[in-house]
């Protein structure tokens, strides 16, 4: 992956939504209807119908607040930056290509195939896939392997709950995820060059069952923009961003470690585990520090000061146990 420093998707800093405006909006949403905490198990189906937007231009009608643990210096990344500076090679390799090229992509209707070593395989319509699960907001840091990071308020469902629901067999040790292949709508999938498609990622089942892992369907209280992986993408905040596979159409329970795209491309630089680790440098750059794109620097935050990178991206307490006995001094 190259760090390209073009303009920040042409976003002028005055166009960036300040955090205060967003917080305000959320208070309005809360006051206007469903109150956080009303999404209890048992009423999940009706809650889904009440909460899920009917189209992309409508906001979620109130979403329960889930686990979010931010540090004192963590500020939300402005919406325009989170949706204007992206990695989504299906739409091109430049940071502003996804926002520019993903417009014609149609995230609905959508089906998700769940297969492999599980008792309840199936092909589900997007709504049916989501319905049994409570939607939650999770504000997480996201650290790209390229040494920039953001803080994003996601809307999503617990991946642990999804795993349980499909009842993996004892022999299933991993989940493999695949992104859609649709070259007619994804310019990066046409012609030569680029990555081999589909984009593939994976997690160990116990990683996928960690309460921090979610499948996101929205950000900033609205359905995911196409460039962020509509309609469904993975978010695993203690790992480098490339683990967060976008526009998922297939989840397979498998016995062996999935061949994830970036490791398959360049295993000397990208691993399967890809846990954020300030002590293990990328062969071409340091991972000890990062630029936090939160609007705080010039050029829409792109020239933000560097800050120290945290072990497991600051989620060590929650996830370190998954890797007990593993050698963390390698990029894997």
Q: Which of residues 10-39 bind ligand MTE (CB under 6 A)?
A: none
Would you give the binding string for ligand MTE spanning residues 38-77, x where CB under 6 A is met? ----------------------------------------
Decide which of ligand MTE, Mo ion, none touches 244; Cβ closer than 5 to 8 Å per partner kind. ligand MTE
144 binds Mo ion (CB under 5 A): yes
Question: Hey, which residues between 192 and 231 contact ligand MTE (CB under 6 A)?
Answer: 199, 228-229
Q: Report 151-190 residues binding ligand MTE (CB under 6 A).
A: 179
Long-range own/partner contacts, residues 123-129 (CB < 8 A, 24 or more apart):
126/231, 126/232, 127/48, 127/52, 129/232
Q: Is 244 in the site for ligand MTE (CB under 6 A)?
A: yes
Contact 96, 9 (CB under 8 A): yes
- Distance of closest approach, residue 33 Cβ to ligand MTE, in angstroms: 27
Three-state secondary structure call for residue 249: strand
What residue 203 binds from ligand MTE, Mo ion, none (CB within 5 to 8 A, per partner kind)?
A: none
The rounded distance, in Å, linking the Cα atoms of 103 and 101 is 6
Query: How many whole angstroms separate alpha carbon 280 and alpha carbon 147?
Result: 12
- Side-chain half-sphere CA neighbours of 6 within 13 A: 12
Q: How many CA atoms lie within 13 A of 70 on its CB side?
A: 17
**Is the distance from CB of 38 to CB of 64 less than 8 angstroms?**
yes
Binding of ligand MTE by 144 (CB under 6 A): yes
Q: Which residues bind Mo ion (CB under 5 A)?
A: 87, 144-145, 241-242
Q: Which residues bind ligand MTE (CB under 6 A)?
A: 86-90, 142, 144, 179, 199, 228-229, 241-242, 244-246
């Amino acid at each position: 992956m190259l760090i390209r420093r073009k303009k920040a998707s042409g976003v002028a800093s005055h166009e960036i939504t300040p955090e205060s405006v967003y917080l305000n909006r959320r208070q309005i949403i809360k006051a206007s209807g469903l109150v956080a905490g009303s999404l209890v198990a048992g009423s999940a189906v009706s809650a889904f119908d009440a909460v899920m937007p009917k189209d992309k231009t409508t906001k979620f009608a109130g979403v329960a607040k889930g686990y979010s643990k931010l540090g004192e210096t963590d500020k939300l990344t402005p919406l325009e930056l989170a949706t204007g500076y992206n990695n989504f090679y299906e739409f091109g390799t430049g940071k502003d290509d996804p926002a520019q090229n993903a417009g014609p992509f149609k995230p609905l209707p959508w089906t998700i195939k769940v297969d492999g070593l599980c008792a309840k395989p199936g092909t589900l319509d997007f709504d049916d896939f989501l319905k049994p699960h409570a939607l939650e907001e999770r504000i997480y840091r996201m650290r790209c392997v390229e040494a920039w990071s953001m803080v994003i308020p996601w809307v999503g469902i617990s991946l642990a709950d999804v795993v349980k629901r499909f009842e993996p067999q004892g022999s299933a040790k991993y989940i493999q995820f695949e992104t859609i292949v649709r070259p007619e709508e994804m310019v990066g999938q046409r012609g030569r060059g680029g990555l081999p498609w589909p984009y593939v990622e994976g997690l160990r089942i116990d990683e996928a069952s960690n309460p921090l892992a979610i499948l996101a369907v929205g950000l900033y209280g609205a359905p995911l923009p196409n460039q962020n992986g509509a309609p469904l993408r993975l978010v695993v905040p203690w790992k480098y961003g490339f683990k967060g596979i976008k526009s998922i159409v297939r989840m397979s329970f498998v016995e062996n470690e999935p061949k994830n795209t970036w490791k398959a491309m360049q295993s000397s630089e990208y691993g399967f585990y890809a846990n954020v680790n300030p002590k293990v440098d990328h062969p071409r750059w340091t991972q000890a520090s990062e630029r936090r794109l939160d609007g705080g620097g010039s050029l829409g935050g792109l020239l933000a000061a560097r800050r120290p990178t945290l072990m497991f991206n600051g989620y060590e307490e929650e996830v370190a146990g998954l890797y007990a006995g593993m050698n963390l001094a390698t990029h894997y």
